[in-house]
Amino acid sequence: MSESPPPNHFIRQIVLDDRTAGKHGGRVATRFPPEPNGYLHIGHAKSICLNFGLAREFGGACNLRFDDTNPVKEDVEYVQAIQDDVRWLGFSWDELRHASDYFEVFYRCAEKLIRNGKAFVCDLSAEQVREYRGTLTEPGRDSPYRTRSVEENLDLFRRMRAGEFPDGARTLRARIDMRSGNINLRDPALYRIRKVTHQNTGDAWPIYPMYDYAHCISDAVEGITHSLCTLEFEDHRPLYDWCLDQLDLPGDRDLTEPLRAVGIRCEPSRPQQIEFSRGNLDYTVMSKRKLMALVQDRLVDGWDDPRMPTLAGARRRGFPAAAIRAFWERVGISKQNSVIDVGVLEGCVREALDTQAPRRLAVLDPVRLAITNLADDHVETLSFPNHPKNEAAGNRDVPFSNTVWIEREDFMETPSKGFHRLVPGGEVRLRGVGIVRCEEVVKQDDGTVVELRCTLDADTRPGRPGADRKVKGTIHWVSARHALAAEVRLYDRLFDAPAPDDDSGGKTYRDHLNPASKRVVRGWLEPSLARVTNESTYQFERLGYFVADRHDHGAATPVFNRVVTLRDTWARTAK
């Protein structure tokens, strides 16, 4: 799938206008700031493509920054997985940063707010804070600790930093407006006490900054020009701007001195937060909490289970990174929340694979077909194109013998109307071989068909005078004598409902798990597939696109995953 020119959208237009006006000196600096508390999912790819794509288009910079301010939920496994996902999508970051790199800066900024009367130490419990906050229709009430002096607040905050108080005993809160119509401005918490070992800083910090506070400072410290967030942060933007206005990081070098002291590049800016809609898909859940539960409760086979909407799962499923980029480009960037048909994503996958995936022969539900007018030891080599739409892909050799496997569904003893494949006494073309007639059907005692005995019309073989004789059906096959046995995992959508998160009927997303989302069969493949490498993708003719499993596939134990079927089998019936 070729890369198309950058699509225009409202954020790109803002960047263009800013450059024209000379804002930020014409610079474009973005960041992708994931929290390392789980694996990235397809929705995150929208933000990745947007942030890295804009920086790439305008010759700017994009940092990968880990928002590691909540060590309770974070893990180095997720840190590595996120880096792998970004690289796999085709992007590279200019600098790898961590919010924890700035812990000393956050602390200095907090002391500045206290000295300027803009923050105070509060002793209210979490429950009491909620009671004091008010509602959407009622104003909040001032904390009884809001009037503490600057000296007392500094003393208490430094003692919080020293680890004197237990978890939850105190918080540092901004002093803004408890009567604001925006609840995010009702004296929000800036720091909480949490005595947890951090993956980067160990036990150095018993207090950790809140996301809204740390995020805007991180953006400013890194010189970010356009801070791109999803719509749920729109109501948080006044707090983002308030913090930056109070701190004036570009004008106060003392705040960022700890970074320069250890050699971290620091050119503070005044970033602009811009919001866009999230990427939501039907037949999917995007909540990290729910995805985590699926993994922990072993309802799936890990974060990279090919049924999961994680990027690791999509990669293992065999989705090309180019297809995911093309999908989000096709969806576009707007402020309108919507749920996108996952069939659009699957369509992008088919488009990408159709042009690049070599063709191979495979049979997944086999029945034996014996050609009785060929000798028992008959073996020959046939030539098949690797890709029917690309002559440059060349041809490959495929062995043929007098006994082949065909798909069980390509034979019907009592044919239904419109069935044009093999029937008793009927004819069908074996792809690349010629026309065969079914002369006899061999069954087990229970009636299961175990063998079809056929004769080959030698005159219809390629290059013979009767090669153009018409029959309505053509089926594929694999030589039984040469076939490669493989484990084939037939993956489908993890949920069987378009809105698995909808619990209005008393069901949860777990009740909508699709029992047919994974089926494992023993397949028979043409022998050339014994030599393929992990993550190699092929079209199994008439069956779909399949990929050699990223981890489990090997020459001794071939394992293939179905990426997508050739057509959308979930297409909604037109009304």
Residue 300 — pLDDT band, cuts 50, 70, 90? very high
- Are residues 15 and 70 both part of a single domain? yes
pLDDT band at 303 (very low <50, low <70, confident <90, very high): very high
Parent domain of 264 = 10-276
105 and 238 belong to one structural domain: yes
Contacts of 270 (CB under 8 A, 6+ apart): 220, 244, 249, 250
Asked if the structure places residue 569 within a domain, the reply is: no
Residue 424 CA to residue 419 CA, distance in Å, equals 12
**Amino acid identity for residue 183 in this structure:** I
4 contacts 352 by C-beta, under 8 angstroms: no
Q: Which residues are annotated as a binding site?
A: 35-37, 41-47, 67, 211, 230, 286-288
Q: How do residues 49-86 score in pLDDT, each as one tens digit?
A: 999 999 999 999 999 999 999 998 888 999 999 999 99
Is the residue at 454 inside a domain? yes
Rounded to an integer, what distance in angstroms lies between the CA atom of residue 63 and that of residue 77?
A: 20
Length of the chain: 575
- Coil, helix or strand at residue 459: helix
**pLDDT (average), residues 539-566:** 96
Residues 501 and 383 in one domain: no
Identify whether residues 229 and 372 lie together within a single domain: no
Binding residues for ATP: 35-37, 41-47, 230, 286-288
Model confidence at 268: pLDDT above 80? yes
Which residues, including other chains, have CB under 8 Å from residue 139's CB and lie 6 or more apart?
178, 179, 180
Whether 137 maps to a domain, the answer reads yes
Beta carbons of 236 and 184 less than 8 angstroms apart: yes
Last residue of a domain, one of 276, 297, 328: 276
Does residue 1 register a pLDDT over 50?
no
Boundary residue ending a domain (211, 241, 276): 276
Joined together, the tokens standing for residue 344 give 């659009």
Within this chain, do residues 505 and 553 fall inside the same structural domain, yes or no? Answer: yes
Q: Which H/E stretch holds residue 478?
A: strand 478-479
- Least Cα distance to 123 among 161, 69, 160, 70 occurs for 160
Distance CA 109, CA 219 (A): 14
Proportion of the chain above pLDDT 70, given as a percent: 98
Binding-site residues for L-glutamine, in ranges, read: 67, 211
CB-count burial class (<10 Å; 0-12, 13-18, 19+) for 37: middle
Q: Tokens 């072993």 appear where?
A: 298
The pTM of the full predicted model, rounded to 2 decimals, is 0.92
Q: What is the pLDDT of residue 503?
A: 86
Question: Considering the domain boundaries, does residue 85 fall inside one?
Answer: yes
CB 208 within 8 A of CB 163: no
Q: Is 272 helix (H, G, I), strand (E, B) or coil?
A: strand
Q: What is the per-residue pLDDT for 3?
A: 55
Q: Are residues 330 and 227 in the same domain?
A: no
Residue 574 domain-assigned (yes or no): no
Phi (first) and psi of residue 295, to 5 degrees: -70, -50
Residue 316 pLDDT > 50, yes or no?
Answer: yes
Look at residue 575 in the predicted model and tell me its pLDDT.
35
Average pLDDT, rounded, for the chain: 95
* Whether the Cβ atoms of residue 250 and residue 221 lie closer than 8 Å to each other: no
Distance of CA 335 to the CA centre of its chain: 21
Query: Looking at the predicted structure, is the pLDDT value of residue 425 above 60?
Result: yes
Q: Please tell me the predicted confidence (pLDDT) of residue 238.
A: 98
Torsions phi, psi of 549, nearest 5?
-55, 140
Is there a contact between 49 and 176 (Cβ–Cβ < 8 Å)? no
Q: Each residue of 368-406: pLDDT tens digit?
A: 999 999 999 999 999 999 999 999 999 999 999 999 999
pLDDT, position 568: 87
Residues 433 and 324 in one domain: no
Q: Does one domain contain both 552 and 450? A: no
Pair 121, 145: CB distance under 8 Å? yes
pLDDT confidence of 572, banded at 50, 70, 90? low
DSSP 495-564: BSSS-TT--TTS--GGGGB-TTSEEEEEEEE-GGGGGPPTT-EEEETTTEEEEE-TTT--SSS-EEEEEE
Rounded Cα–Cα distance for residues 210 and 189 (Å)? 7
> Do residue 89 and residue 226 come from a single domain?
yes
Which of 246, 276, 306 delimits the end of a domain?
A: 276
Which residue has 């007018």 as its token pair? 373
Q: Which of 159, 132, 136, 134 is nearest to 146 (CA)?
A: 132
Give pLDDT tens digits for 169-220: 999 999 999 999 999 999 999 999 999 999 999 999 999 999 999 999 999 9
Query: Residue 573: pLDDT above 50?
Result: no
Domain count, the chain: 3
In one letter, which amino acid is 139?
A: P
- pLDDT given for residue 271 in this prediction: 97
One domain for residues 440 and 508: no
Whether residues 64 and 96 share a domain: the answer is yes
| Rounded Cα distance, 390 and 70, in Å | 52
Catalytically annotated residues = 35, 278, 288
Tell me which residue of 485, 411, 475, 480 sits closest to 443, measured CA to CA. 411
Residues 536, 436: one domain? no
Q: Evaluate whether residue 572 is within a structural domain.
A: no
453 inside domain: yes
Report the percentage of the chain scoring pLDDT > 90. 93
Helix axis angle, 321-331 to 342-356, nearest 10°: 130
The string of pLDDT tens digits covering residues 507-532 is 999 999 999 999 999 999 999 999 89
| Angle (nearest 5°) at CA 255 between 254 and 257 | 60
CA distance 514 to 534: 27
pLDDT exceeds cutoff 80 at 574: no
